[in-house]
Amino acid sequence: MITELSGVETGDGALSGVRLAVKDNIDVAGAPTTGGSRICGHETALMTAPAVAALASAGARPVAKVNLHEFAYGVSSDNPWHGRVPNPRYPGHVPGGSSGGSAAAVAAGVAELALGTDTAGSIRIPAACTGTAGLRPRNGALDLAGVQPLCPSFDTVGPMAASVALVAAAWRVLAAGAPGSLAPEPGDEGAASGALPARVGVCGDPASVALRLLGELGVETVPLELPLAEIEEAFWPAFRAEIARVHQASYPRLADEYDPNVAAKLAGTQGVSVACYRESRERLTALRRGVLDGWRRLGVTAVVSPVLGIPLPRVGEREEDYRDLLGLYAVPASALDLAALAIGDLQITARTEAEALALGTALEEAGLTPVPPRLG
């Protein structure tokens, strides 16, 4: 599904002439916002979301609202109501999700720039699946007015493009008027400069070309393990508790109106207690502190890893069989409130957006292109 847009006022600035695709859980005045569902979108949006308006004021021209996994809750973007999102780069394989339509629009040349949302990997997973680039900002960095919530404490909105350079240009526009705090934490003031780090951690098995280019740039790499299982165990209760509350007016009352794939996941969100939620959030706070303390001890200011934990699934495979593994390395940035940049199936996780983009820009200028995923 692609809904064409017209009539959004644009300015003249750094993004002049750039076509912009907008994920259909983000408001554009005069267009419906369906969230990829058949429950929403019966009335058109009255206002344009600040993130869209900021890019338009810098010259970007919104041209389309694009499809997604229903309610941004999934990683295949196989949508029964509005159609399956194709993968223009790797036909026959899923485009990832939930911002699959945003990634596909960029990969297909429908738009040079797209806005997606990322709660647990939903910008970075489709960027990895389609050979594009995408930035997940920190929680609360940007105004989420006009963005349908999934899990409010972890929801973010961010730019996607074919290159890090355009992602960075869009981020500068978005950050210029951001109401959220983009400052580093005490003791991490150097993170604000966006300087190239002296040392980065390596988690998993990132692309060898990226490691080679880091060496050529004079960046030392050191092995680093993230407590992936512990982070996920701590994250999911809080994640599910908030989703249940977001959908409580329509689920389970309208369960038959949901995509069965999403309805099954919503069934699993029910009944998380306040005590369990608080414990989950407290564990995440402690894990974040421990992870960043470990980075400081190693002199590491960013970590490179894959995005995907498994080869790219084929269309027709059951999403429930691969969804947790597909974004194996994406969840930590969401859970621990870190910035993360995907350059295809290469992820840079850092304390700030400036750090992630500085390293990604340096790699791109050294010759790195979006890293292709392994194909299933």
Query: Could you confirm whether 6 is annotated as catalytic?
Result: no
Structure tokens at 1: 């599904």
What separation in angstroms does the CA of 37 have from each of 24, 70, 258, 259, 280?
Answer: 10, 5, 7, 8, 29
Catalytic residue among 77, 102, 122, 334: 122
Tell me the sheet residues that pair with 353: none
**Is 60:111 a contact under the CB 8 Å cutoff?**
no
Q: Does the annotation count 250 as an active-site position?
A: no
Q: What is the DSSP letter of 274?
A: H
Residue 166 Cα to chain centre, angstroms: 16
The whole-angstrom separation of Cα 151 and Cα 246 is 7
- Asked if residue 252 has a cis previous peptide bond (ω within 30° of 0), the answer is yes
Known catalytic residue at 16: no
Q: Which of 98, 99, 102, 334 is catalytic?
A: 98
- DSSP one-letter code for 192: G
Q: Retrieve residue 165's tokens.
A: 């350079």
**Which among 23, 99, 265, 334 is annotated as catalytic?**
23
Residues 6+ apart with CB under 8 A from 226: 203, 291, 303, 305, 329, 332
Residues recognised as catalytic: 23, 98, 122
